[in-house]
Chain A
Amino acid sequence: MLKSEIEEKIGQIFKLEKTLSQRVVNLLITSISDAISRDDRVEIRGFGSFYPKKYKSYKGRNPKTGESIQIPEKILPLYRPSRDLLEKLNSKQD
């Protein structure tokens, strides 16, 4: 599913003009990424949580050349799905 499909659905349900439903969805996504970037944890019941995780600098290798390189310290966003959602996912029969 694409962002435009979410925007369409929100627009239909709440009777919003296209530009407004785009602003709504953009604002929600930006707010979540802003929160993670300021080291906040985003916890949505029934869906899961997003949180930043800090990784220390380590020695890595360029997989193509085999050259040894130092990977700098970094922060990556992680997602942990809620138990409810995983149960939903696994209750569906294929």
Chain B
Amino acid sequence: MTRKDLTNILHKSLGFNLKESARIVDKFFHIIIDNLAAHNDVKLPKFGSLKIQDREPRLGRNPTTGETIQISRRKAIAFRPSKSLRKKLSESSNLD
């Protein structure tokens, strides 16, 4: 699924024209991206939360050359799925 599929869903279900639907989908993700970029957590009920986490600096290795390198302190995003989403997935029949 991509932005295009979401655009079609908005168009078909809520009657926005395709251009408007595409703008709404873009805006939806833009709002989320801007918040994360500003280091704000995003909470979506019945879906999950995206939280900004600090990663400590550590020593890593360049997998190609084997060279040891310093990996700087950085921010990461952790997704924690909501209970309802986890339930929805485990109840889907893809476990067979």
Contacts and interface: CB of A to CB of B under 8 A. Distances in A.
| Number of chain B interface residues as a range | 35 or more
B88 interface: yes
Nearest to A9: B31
Given A27-B13, A75-B89, A52 B43 contact: no
Chain A interface size range: 35 or more
A75 B2 contact: no
A77 B29 contact: no
Given A27-B9, A77-B48, A78-B79, A89 B1 contact: no
B32 A47 contact: yes
B14 A24 contact: yes
Given A9-B31, A37-B88, A88 B37 contact: yes
